[in-house]
Structure 1
């Protein structure tokens, strides 16, 4: 999504996961970032190559990439949906039964940002919804690379790769949308899906649309909000734990740098204006995997090899969080 633009995603209290984890978490992100700085001294991951950094090749089987639907306008072609209007009842995309593994019994909701059909439904996605602190658009079209590879295509591809990796660990994985609806869902419904699933972790996958020269990833954490239907106070601490673990593993696996334009080099940003975070009652973060409007980041985001690494990095952060 565009960093300055609207967001995506509603409430159930959860126990804090801090305590003994604090030392481990505190060491994880700085250690990973330090490792990136060492690697950066000997080689630039931003050279536009299809490989990003020194991470090991994934031993997990590659997931079939989501069908690409780039257009010159960067809006997508609207394919892969059933053509019906989405239900007003929150639903999650079906998931195959979880395998036996260390995450057996854990529920992860993955929220692929935007929808390739949103541009065909401007009146629907421009409708204002309540995000607790104020009202914002239901959703947005998202961004794209200069060549027209859309954010919605990217997010769904990475999300599907994550689903395979997490299911191999035994997790039950649900989606907010799986290319199976013509637009949306709205940001409040996206949050409601995670809440209704009583998810142990929710991750919303995005790519930014900032200015050229702005590079790197950042993880967006919920700020402390208590207004209207929003009360993030119970999830602030566990969401930060989740976000720190994802950031550390994303650096380690992809070799990508933390954002050079937000977050002060930490790869972490706290926001109070995103409905998908404000309305969540379960631990949740957003990740902006890179900037689609920068040519070097775009070369990574459009690489299947790098997207598999991105899926691994995010998934391994989720596994670390869930296993404590």
Structure 2
């Protein structure tokens, strides 16, 4: 006796996300062919590939302002002409700077240190703009130096100097900033830049000034380059060129590299 053949056919209808459920058809008779029904057309799967392009981040810009210039002393009329200095004041275009008792000039010191700082920053991917291109020219005036920083959109402007106190026992560095601030950049950004530079120089072993400012910081309202700045800006007086110990450090390449490394470290910490 033949047993009835039970045929079970399961038809799975595949659709995209949210499609109709699969249908199941059954038959209990061997003589009746199975009937299948599908309400869905064949599914086509499309794969979309999204490509994301990451633009390289623009380099951060730092302006370094080496104080004075090599030919200032022989161009008295040019550097003595009056220019705007902020807060409604006028001041001489520039000055000759000071020197050690042995005759090593401030303009040579500031240029050498600035070049070393430039190279250290450039090695870290920072774009550096110098307010003067060598140590043989005149100026630029303080208002022009400020304009270079403003026009560059610099993240930081750092002016490098050394002091010339006649008190030979006076020593140590200080960082000046414009105070009271004349714009937003001269407020928190500049005071933070000043504090970060101060901390880096202290960490490098340099003592804070014993004769200017307090704890290595000096708020000023009379420095044209700072008053006219629209970017975070400070001025670093690295020490007293008339002090024998500091004069020796200023006059040698090892000492100048130490100052440059500390200043570069402070700038990088500020930019981080």
Q: TM-score range by the shorter chain?
A: 0.7 to 0.9
How far the C-alpha of 1:304 sits from its partner, in A, is 1.1
**SS of the residue 2:185 aligns to:** coil
Question: Counting strand residues as a fraction of each chain, which structure ranks higher?
Answer: 2
For 1:114-193, list aligned pairs within 5 A: 114-133=68-87, 134-179=89-134, 182-193=137-148
Does the Cα contact within 8 Å between 2:68 and 2:139 map onto a contact in 1? yes
- Alpha-carbon distance in 2 for matches of 1:258, 1:114: 23
Deviations 1:149-178 (A, max 9, x none): 000000000000001100011000000002
For structure 1, list consecutive stretches of 5 or more residues without a partner in the other structure: 1-101, 226-230
* Higher mean C-alpha deviation, range 176-185 or range 271-280: 176-185
For structure 2, list consecutive stretches of 5 or more residues without a partner in the other structure: 1-55
Runs of 4+, deviation exceeding 4 Å = none
- Kindly tell me: are residues 237 and 103 of structure 1, through their superposed partners in 2, closer, same or farther at Cα, counting changes over 3 Å? farther
- Kindly tell me: are residues 237 and 168 of structure 1, through their superposed partners in 2, closer, same or farther at Cα, counting changes over 3 Å? same
Which residue in the other structure is 1:272 paired with? 221
Which residue in the other structure is 1:50 paired with? none
Is 1:196 matched up with 2:147?
Answer: no
How far the C-alpha of 1:294 sits from its partner, in A, is 1.1
Q: TM-score, normalised by structure 2?
A: 0.76
How far the C-alpha of 1:235 sits from its partner, in A, is 2.3
Q: TM-score, normalised by structure 1?
A: 0.64
Deviations 1:135-154 (A, max 9, x none): 11100000000111000000
Asked which structure has the greater CA Rg, the reply is: 2
Does the Cα contact within 8 Å between 2:108 and 2:135 map onto a contact in 1? no
Which residue in the other structure is 1:307 paired with? 256
* Higher mean C-alpha deviation, range 106-115 or range 293-302: 293-302
Is 1:213 matched up with 2:169?
Answer: yes
Aligned alpha-carbon RMSD (Å): 1.5
Which residue in the other structure is 1:234 paired with? 185
Which residue in the other structure is 1:105 paired with? 59
